[in-house]
Each structure stands twice: as structure tokens, then as C-alpha cells.
Amino acid sequence: MTGFVDINNVTHAYGGDGGVVAVDKLSLSIAQGEFAAVVGPSGCGKSTLMKLVTGLQIPRAGSITVGGSTVRGPLKIAGMAFQAPNLLPWRRTLENILLALELVQPHRSRLRSEREAYVAKVETLLSQVGLKGLGAKFPWELSGGMQQRASLCRALIHEPQLLMLDEPFGALDSFTREELWCVIRDLHAARPVTIILVTHDLREAAFLADRIFCMSVRPGRIIAERRVTFPRPRNLDVIYTAEFTRIVHDLRQQIATARQAA
């Protein structure tokens, strides 16, 4: 396999021998610039998959390569966003986003001398996600949706080649969620970034992704793979087409079968 992210026959378990097997003989390959979604019932090892790809966990068996090199520790070319925005309440929004640059090389050593350029870059990104001029606000002065947008900015500011999203919209209301789908769609269209989205929202997966991987319950395996071929840029109206409903319905059935089998 020669994708940007290659997962070869990976098995991972927590808690020593005889511990819980989270994923079992998992294989998948994602091309550069592709938008992949991983869906599955809760407890299928989706979050484990995230940790394995970003090198926060090292697999018990099998191998993972990202960008041609084997993952042996935390990746430097990845950005992450989770269900909770995890912004630091003592930093303003702008400073929260700069946090990523304070850590990642080469920005880390340049930040002090080229601060103005970096701040301008953050401002640009803020306006791209609809937070124009809100950099001086503290996170707790922003709504949940705005905090999540800021969290996306923090994940993207160091221009990662890989963006990992773990249920990033799970805690939002459905209108805000749809707004943020469009934000992600536009961010993906504007830059050459590979995105892996972990979600249990099938409509979200079908609207955003080029390819959807269905996982079974623990131990997690890929049980189905769907290509979504709607042309881009996709409009929210696509959700109401018969073809979209067919894809979502099909995915739902795959997962229902997987749950029954468990």
C-alpha cells in the first residue's frame, strides 16, 4: 500500500496481556489530501485509531506509516481536535491558537522574533472560520460553537499535513453542527491537508468525506468501506437527495449488523 496514511494489520490492546483488545488486525490506507471518515458504534476503538495514527499509542502488532515513515512516537505533522474544545481559560483566543506554534518546530524558535507575522496568520485563519476580530476574547466569552472553531484553528495553525478530528461536533446543536461542517469543508478545500474524521454521525460522514470506513464493535475491525462521490464543493442541499439517504441508510445497516454480531 502506498497511501499517505497506511495502517497495516494493526492490533492494539490496553492493560497488559489479556487486556481489552481495542482494535484487531486493522488495515486501511488513506491517500494524500483525502478526507476519510471512520464511523462505528461506540466502543469500536475509533479513538484508539486516532491515538495510534498520531503516535500517542504504539500498536502491539502491525505497523503504521504516515507520510512514508513509520510512526514510532508522537507525530509532529498532525493537528488534533476533540469533542471538548480544550481551550485554556487563562489565555485569550489568539494566544490559545498561538500555543500550537509555541510547541511545534520550526515555529517554536521563530515565534519570538516574527510574532507579528504569526499573529497576522492567526487572524487570517480566524476570519476563515468565522471568528474575525474575536482573537482578544477569552474562550469562556465565546459560545460552544465558536470555541470549537477556535479549537480547529489551533489544530491547523501550524499547517499540519494530517488533521485528526475526534467527534469534534458531538457536543453541538444541529444548526451549529451544520455550520461547522461547512467550515471544515472549506478548510479542506483551501489547503492540501489529509483529514481523518472519527464520528458516529453518519450524515456528517457522508456529507464531508471522500471515503467512509465502518468499524465493528470491540475488537474494532473495518467491516465496510464506502466511497462518496458527490462532486465538490458540496452544498448542504446534498443531504436531502435520494442518493445521500441511500448511502446513510446503507451505513446504518452495516453498523446495526455489526452490533448484532457482537
CB of 11 to another protein, least distance (A): 21
Strand 61-66 relative to strand 5-14, pairing: antiparallel
**Residues 169-228 contacting another protein, CB under 8 A:** none
Q: Does 140 bind another protein (CB under 8 A)?
A: yes
Which of 96, 197, 199 has the alpha carbon at shortest distance from 149? 96
Closer CB to another protein, residue 78 or residue 228? 78
Range 206-236 burial, b when 16+ CB lie within 10 A, else e: bbbbbbbbbbbbbbbbbbbebebeeeeebee
Q: Does 142 bind another protein (CB under 8 A)?
A: no
Binds another protein by CB under 8 A, chosen from 9, 27, 70, 86:
86
Amino acid at 206: A
Q: Does 100 bind another protein (CB under 8 A)?
A: yes
Binds another protein by CB under 8 A, chosen from 46, 121, 149, 158:
158
Question: Please, where are the H alpha helices in the chain?
Answer: 46-53, 93-103, 107-110, 115-128, 144-156, 174-190, 202-208, 242-261
CB of 167 to another protein, least distance (A): 11
Q: Does 133 bind another protein (CB under 8 A)?
A: no
Residues 6+ apart with CB under 8 A from 110: 118
Q: Does 134 bind another protein (CB under 8 A)?
A: no
Q: How far apart are CA 150 and CA 205, in angstroms?
A: 21
Binds another protein by CB under 8 A, chosen from 88, 117, 189, 256:
88
Q: How far apart are CA 174 and CA 158, in angstroms?
A: 29
Local structure of residue 187 (DSSP, 8 states): H
Q: Does 136 bind another protein (CB under 8 A)?
A: no
CB of 211 to another protein, least distance (A): 23
Q: Does 143 bind another protein (CB under 8 A)?
A: no
Closer CB to another protein, residue 57 or residue 128? 57
Q: Does 58 bind another protein (CB under 8 A)?
A: no
Q: Does 74 bind another protein (CB under 8 A)?
A: yes
Q: Does 84 bind another protein (CB under 8 A)?
A: yes
Closer CB to another protein, residue 169 or residue 244? 169
Look at residue 217 and give its three-state secondary structure. Answer: coil
Q: How far apart are CA 220 and CA 78, in angstroms?
A: 23
Note the residues at the interface with another protein (CB under 8 A): 51, 54-56, 74-76, 78-80, 82, 84, 86, 88-90, 99-100, 102-105, 138, 140, 154-155, 158, 164
